[in-house]
């Protein structure tokens, strides 16, 4: 079969001049949907004003002013301003972090300007721009197709039609609409409309980030806060009634009820949640790990299984042809050692079966090898027809003119190529043996076939040609140098690893062995996955680590089986076909450089530089946020218990001084606790125990029973210490003296609790070495507040306190210390038991 040569000349385009872009942008505006003003600040302030704590403060302020207690009313008013300022600061900080994330995740496009290709934000596109789009990318504007190669487009967003349609430069079939997806091939498009002028915008649909539903942790937090708010309302009514019945005035009863309600509502928890997630996502973005939704960090810290795609994730995605097998001559040639003897016929046919301007790494490698073997070759002939990549396993075919007839060249999965060539059983067995030998070296193998067609209509399906088997082409994509070390880090973090790839079984198992994936000797194929029942697969996925010859439906089924088994699942991918699995996984991870736009849009995380080391780094950051959020919430629960009980029990028990706290005392405790939990704990480093622990199971609560028990016990022991001081001093001392002792003990207990809760496994001697720049500041501010209320007479009078002796202060200090120190002894004994075990 003779080789064929023809010449085709590419057309050159220069595109817009960069100097003209500002003028066009001023004329047409940014390429984004311009919605009505959202009133960001107004909605932010309204959100703060309608918070239960703000409403309670407002009620207390009004009561004080009605009673003529202007000093107390002014203090509450000042507290309201402080609460608003802190809330606004946290909202702005979170908003800025989210805005920075949106800028990081803003889509970009390749354009031709001044005769050169360059990347720009899609917002910067203007009519007249020349866009270069390829497989998996989203059309960022309306345009006219100038040139196309193997182009099919998914227009379901516009038409509702799920099947892709063929497109090209032919008038009537050359329109590309914003929001549609390049399904296969590539094209050059001249932008015709941007922003509100696109067909999508005219239809009233804006391409915007879809709001994700509340996560499990969000639902748990919201449910807990609602219940405590309800408790606060009930407690307010009950305490008001009880206080009034016991002879206290209506105003005093209302103030007492407000005090208890303020103590009961843990408004810091939702604030801490949103702050931790937004700031955690922002810090990760600075490390090249972009979270498309901050809430995803909740799952990131709880990953139990990591499903890795092979190409481009654990391998370099840098294919090179390393061996060819010519079936006609029976000769194998190791191309890393020598050149092909004679002509490069097999590589030529493989090149014919590839795209003229290849964007696939395998096709690029084939062209590179062909050029090295035939440096003076003429350009490839003009293609008459193309059968796109299809089937399971897939193949593709291109048809060319040849000596008055036609020649078809195909390449694809070896088993598919051998099947369409209808080889004899003995030949198939011999070739399968050769194929397994090649694949066991980690090679990715493609089969190549050709067929002569005498003329007339082409077959409807590519399988119907009279195919002749030509041979195998072996490509090698080496594992990344750090792949084995990174995978070991993932295992060390208690996460199981699965390799899910479309490669041949022997190839996949070889790469799994090279990169340290455990249980690599056994694998199952996509067809075997699809043949299993859901129950069978749920058992199988716990045992099998390597999945081969996988296709989108099989990947999706494996992900769903892992999730059904209670696992939090992460999945990496970079292709169009990975989209469903990335979307289904709890954490979809896309590669930012070599991944398709569809993969990036479907993913929850995007690794900007494709560095595999970013995966354990992302797990580290996720576990840090998750662990520190738990510390913050446990701190909030522990310190709220003594505040609530100290405000309620004396009245219910009929003590001498039934009202020890006023809203002023509670709100200033809240002002200390709020920044402590949402700013101080957020800065804490992740602990070794948290990094090595296995990921959480699906639907697990935020706290285990033992964790919650410890947290409640902390609060109850602090309560015992505070009420002990309360009961002792009310017997022989004034209300002011008793209040001073109780309030001081509670403040010091809060300081000790903050530092002991930095770790629930390591004692304070160890946690003092943790790097947290806010630790000294928290301590200084707390001590400064103690100094103010004890040594500055006007402040002391405003809080209804009195001067106390040094000995009395030491009693408060000793009581607070004992109330907290037991937990340090508990942690030390626990650690000793673990070491002995």
Q: What is the pLDDT of residues 641-668, one digit of tens each?
A: 888 888 878 878 888 888 787 777 777 7
pLDDT, position 260: 67
pLDDT at 163 over 70: no
Burial of 46 (0-12, 13-18, 19+ CB in 10 A): exposed
Across-strand partners of 131?
111, 189
Residue 515: which of 487, 496, 546, 489 has the closest Cα?
487
- The string of pLDDT tens digits covering residues 467-480 is 999 999 999 888 88
- Model confidence at 547, in pLDDT bands (50, 70, 90)? very high
Q: Are 824 and 763 in contact (CB under 8 A)?
A: yes
Span 271-290, average pLDDT: 74
Topology of domain 46-96+213-287+618-836, CATH? Calcium-transporting ATPase, transmembrane domain (1.20.1110)
- The string of pLDDT tens digits covering residues 412-470 is 999 999 999 999 899 999 999 999 889 888 888 999 999 998 877 889 899 999 999 99
Longest dimension (CA), the chain: 116
Report in angstroms the alpha-carbon separations of 257 from 161, 319, 330: 61, 72, 92
| Residue boundaries of the structural domains of the chain | 46-96+213-287+618-836, 108-202, 289-316+480-608, 320-476
pLDDT, position 561: 93
Structure tokens at 800: 């209804």
- Domain 289-316+480-608, CATH homologous superfamily name and number: HAD superfamily/HAD-like (3.40.50.1000)
Across-strand partners of 181?
138, 154
pLDDT at 37 over 50: no
Q: Indicate the SS3 state at residue 204.
A: coil
Please tell me the least confidently modeled range out of 104-113, 498-507, 620-629. 104-113
pTM of the predicted structure, to 2 decimals:
0.68
Q: DSSP characters for 468-524?
A: EEEEEEEEE-PBPTTHHHHHHHHHHTT-EEEEE-SS-HHHHHHHHHHTT-SSTT-EE
pLDDT, position 222: 67
pLDDT, position 536: 92
pLDDT, position 811: 95
Locate all alpha helices (DSSP H) within 495-604, ordered by sequence: 505-514, 526-531, 534-540, 552-564, 579-584, 597-602
pLDDT, position 93: 55
Q: Looking at per-residue confidence, does 620 or 802 come out higher?
A: 802
**Where are any strands of DSSP class E within 348-394?**
385-390
CA dist 58 and 610 (Å) reads 52
CA dist 745 and 705 (Å) reads 29
Span 181-188, average pLDDT: 82
pLDDT at 514 over 80: yes
Asked, as a colleague might, if the bond just before 2 is cis with ω within 30 of 0, I would say no
Topology of domain 108-202, CATH? 2.70.150
Span 367-378, average pLDDT: 76
Topology of domain 320-476, CATH? Calcium-transporting ATPase, cytoplasmic domain N (3.40.1110)
CA dist 460 and 405 (Å) reads 18
pLDDT, position 697: 57
pLDDT, position 7: 28
pLDDT at 216 over 80: no
CA dist 65 and 467 (Å) reads 94
Question: Mean pLDDT for the chain?
Answer: 80
- The string of pLDDT tens digits covering residues 388-423 is 888 878 899 999 988 878 999 999 999 999 999 999
CA dist 602 and 600 (Å) reads 5
pLDDT, position 105: 46
Question: What percentage of residues in the chain have a pLDDT greater than 70?
Answer: 76
Q: Are 148 and 207 in contact (CB under 8 A)?
A: no
pLDDT, position 540: 92
**Phi, psi torsion values for 340, nearest 5 degrees:** -70, 135
pLDDT at 267 over 80: no
CA dist 56 and 61 (Å) reads 9
pLDDT, position 10: 39
Most confident stretch, 289-298, 577-586, 761-770: 761-770
Find the angle CA(613)-CA(616)-CA(620) to the nearest 5 degrees: 135
pLDDT, position 378: 63
Most confident stretch, 21-35, 699-713, 774-788: 774-788
Please tell me the least confidently modeled range out of 213-222, 358-367, 681-690, 746-755. 213-222
pLDDT, position 307: 92
pLDDT, position 34: 60
Span 135-147, average pLDDT: 86
pLDDT, position 104: 46
- Model confidence at 6, in pLDDT bands (50, 70, 90)? very low
């Amino acid at each position: 079969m003779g080789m064929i040569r023809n010449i085709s000349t590419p057309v050159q385009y220069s595109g817009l001049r960069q100097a003209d872009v500002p003028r066009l942008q001023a004329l047409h505006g940014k390429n984004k949907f311009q919605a009505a003003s959202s009133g960001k600040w107004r909605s932010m302030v309204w959100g703060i004003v309608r918070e239960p704590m703000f409403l309670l403060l407002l009620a207390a302020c009004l009561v004080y002013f009605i009673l003529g207690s202007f000093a107390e009313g002014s203090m509450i008013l000042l507290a309201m301003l402080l609460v608003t300022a802190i809330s606004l600061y946290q909202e702005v900080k979170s908003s800025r972090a989210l805005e920075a994330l949106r800028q990081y995740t803003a889509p970009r496009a390749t354009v031709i300007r001044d005769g050169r290709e360059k990347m720009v934000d899609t917002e910067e596109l203007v009519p007249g721009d020349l866009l270069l789009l390829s497989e998996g990318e989203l059309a960022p504007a309306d345009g006219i197709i100038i040139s196309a190669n193997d182009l099919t487009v998914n227009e379901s967003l516009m038409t509702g039609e799920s099947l892709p349609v063929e497109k090209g430069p032919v008038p009537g079939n050359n329109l590309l609409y914003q929001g549609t997806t390049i399904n296969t091939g590539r094209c050059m498009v001249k932008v015709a409309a941007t922003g509100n002028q696109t067909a999508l915008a005219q239809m009233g649909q804006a391409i915007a980030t879809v709001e994700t539903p509340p996560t499990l942790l969000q639902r748990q937090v919201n449910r807990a806060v609602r219940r405590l708010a309800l408790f606060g309302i009930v407690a307010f009514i009950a305490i008001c009634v009880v206080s009034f019945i016991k002879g206290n005035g209506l105003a005093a009863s209302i103030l007492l009820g407000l005090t208890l309600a303020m103590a009961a509502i843990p408004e810091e928890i939702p604030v801490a949640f949103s702050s931790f997630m937004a700031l955690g996502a922002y810090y990760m973005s600075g490390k090249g790990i972009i979270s498309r939704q901050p809430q995803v960090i909740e799952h990131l810290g709880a990953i139990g299984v990591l499903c890795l795609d092979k190409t481009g994730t654990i391998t370099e995605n840098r294919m090179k042809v390393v061996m060819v097998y010519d079936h006609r001559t029976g000769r194998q040639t190791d191309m890393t050692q020598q050149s092909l003897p004679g002509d490069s016929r097999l590589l030529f046919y493989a090149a014919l079966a590839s795209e003229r301007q290849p964007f696939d790494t395998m096709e690029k490698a084939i062209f590179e090898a062909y050029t090295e073997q035939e440096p003076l070759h003429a350009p490839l002939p003009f293609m008459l027809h193309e059968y796109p990549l299809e089937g399971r396993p897939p193949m593709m075919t291109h048809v060319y003119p040849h000596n008055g007839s036609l020649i078809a060249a195909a390449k694809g999965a070896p088993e598919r190529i051998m099947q369409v060539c209808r080889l004899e059983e003995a030949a198939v067995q011999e070739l399968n043996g050769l194929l397994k030998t090649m694949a066991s070296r980690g090679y990715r193998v493609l089969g190549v076939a050709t067929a002569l067609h005498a003329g007339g209509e082409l077959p409807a399906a590519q399988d119907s040609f009279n195919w002749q088997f030509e041979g195998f082409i072996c490509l090698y994509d080496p594992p990344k140098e750090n792949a084995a070390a990174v995978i070991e880090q993932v295992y060390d973090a208690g996460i199981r690893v699965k390799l899910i790839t479309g490669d041949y079984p022997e190839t996949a198992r070889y790469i799994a062995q090279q990169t340290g994936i455990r249980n690599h000797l056994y694998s199952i194929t996509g067809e075997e996955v699809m043949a299993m029942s859901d129950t069978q697969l749920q058992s199988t996925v716990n045992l099998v680590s390597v999945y081969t010859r996988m296709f989108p439906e099989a990947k999706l089924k494996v992900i769903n089986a892992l999730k059904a088994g209670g696992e939090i699942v992460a999945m990496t991918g970079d292709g169009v076909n990975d989209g469903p699995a990335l979307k289904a996984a709890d954490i979809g991870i896309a590669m930012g450089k070599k991944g398709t736009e569809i993969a990036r849009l479907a993913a929850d995380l995007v690794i900007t530089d494709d560095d595999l080391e970013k995966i354990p780094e992302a797990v580290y950051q996720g576990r840090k946020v998750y662990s520190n959020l738990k510390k913050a919430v446990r701190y909030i629960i522990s310190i709220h218990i003594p505040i609530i009980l100290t405000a309620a029990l004396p009245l219910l028990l009929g003590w001498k001084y039934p009202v020890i706290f006023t809203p002023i005392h509670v709100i200033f405790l809240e002002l200390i606790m709020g920044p402590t939990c949402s700013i101080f704990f957020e800065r804490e480093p992740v602990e070794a125990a948290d990094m090595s622990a296995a990921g959480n199971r699906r639907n697990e609560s935020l706290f285990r029973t033992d964790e919650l028990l410890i947290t409640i016990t902390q609060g109850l022991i602090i309560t015992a210490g505070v009420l002990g001081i309360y009961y002792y001093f009310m017997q022989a001392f004034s209300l002011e003296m008793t209040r001073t002792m109780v309030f001081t003990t509670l403040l010091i207990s809060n300081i000790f609790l903050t530092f002991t809760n930095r770790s629930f496994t390591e004692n304070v001697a160890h946690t003092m070495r943790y790097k947290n720049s806010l630790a000294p500041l928290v301590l200084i501010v707390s001590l400064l507040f103690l100094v103010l209320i004890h040594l500055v007479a006007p402040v002391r009078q405003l809080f209804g306190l009195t001067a106390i002796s040094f000995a009395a202060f030491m009693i408060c200090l000793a009581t607070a210390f004992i109330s907290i120190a037991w937990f340090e002894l508990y942690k030390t004994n626990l650690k000793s038991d673990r070491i002995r075990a």
